[in-house]
Amino acid sequence: MVDILRSLWVWLSAAALILLWLPLLAIIRLFDRNPVHYTTGRMFRRLGTVITKVNPLWSLNISGERISDPRRPYVIVCNHQSFADVPLIANLPWEMKWLTKIELFKLPVIGWMLSMAGDIPVDRKNKRAAAQAFIRASQYLSQKCSVFFFPEGTRSPDGLVHRFTDGAFQLAIRAQAPILPLVVDGSHDCLPKRSWKFGKPREIFLKILQPFDTAGLSLEDTEKVRNRVRNLIIDQIAEWRGVDPAEVDALKAQST
């Protein structure tokens, strides 16, 4: 019963904040003349920060590299454990445009806010539309705004790190933009997949790893770069959990 009441509190608080944020975001967007709508995007991310703070079940611990120039463009990648990752990662103090499945853009309120913030819809069923999303992401990089990917494509069903797709890494190499890996752990049970109830109180770790330079690399290096970044993320999660990296790697777990 306590879990249900806590979950209801979090959802009602989040809904109230979203309804409050919508007109505020619309006003900011109206006066935001920056070509990447940087201020609007930052205001949208702050919604995630406030949702994190009003949630009595989450304690977020952020560590790692300090990004001194928020307008230096990165291709940012992170493992994906839960829908809770979205507001948690929004606590980072810089703007980045998220590549998000197109279905969310079709939702009332949330979809409108995603559009106002300048996030990028991705239609996984339409290759041409997906290519256009990557073109838009490249344009953001050229305008000194970072872009964000979950290279696993979807939330992990078991808390392990699953296969990474190539798209984010190909984009970084083509744009000769540095890759900034993030690692999140502890969020898997915060909001389990296909459940509306939040998990028990827990500490969540979010770490900014050292940027990975792509200068001089070609598309032939995509697999090497993808695997290196993925292994860095796996190693960090394994260190937090005090286990062997193989126990965090879903691909190795599937092969045994």
Question: What DSSP string runs through the chain?
Answer: -HHHHHHHHHHHHHHHHHHHHHHHHHHHHHH--STT-HHHHHHHHHHHHHHHHH-TTEEEEEEE---S-TTS--EEEE----TTHHHHHTTSSS-EEEEEEHHHHTSTTHHHHHHHHT-EEE-TT-HHHHHHHHHHHHHHHHTT-EEEE-TTSS--SSSSB-PPPSHHHHHHHHHTPPEEEEEEES-TTTS-TT--S--S-EEEEEEEPPPB--TT--GGGHHHHHHHHHHHHHHHHHHHHTS-GGGTBHHHHHH-
What pLDDT is recorded for position 202?
82
CB 179 within 8 A of CB 214: yes
Distance CA 82, CA 218 (A): 33
Q: Tell me which residues of the chain have a pLDDT lower than 50.
A: none
What pLDDT is recorded for position 91?
97
What pLDDT is recorded for position 130?
84
CB 130 within 8 A of CB 165: no
What pLDDT is recorded for position 192?
66
Distance CA 247, CA 256 (A): 11
Structure tokens at 124: 């996984």
* Per CATH, domain 2-255 is 3.40.1130: yes
What pLDDT is recorded for position 1?
64
Long-range (24+ apart) CB contacts under 8 A made by 221-225 are 221/173, 222/166, 222/169, 222/170, 222/173, 223/166, 225/169, 225/172, 225/173, 225/179
Distance CA 98, CA 146 (A): 9
CB-based contacts of 198: which residues, under 8 Å, 6+ apart? 3, 6, 7, 10, 55, 57, 190, 191
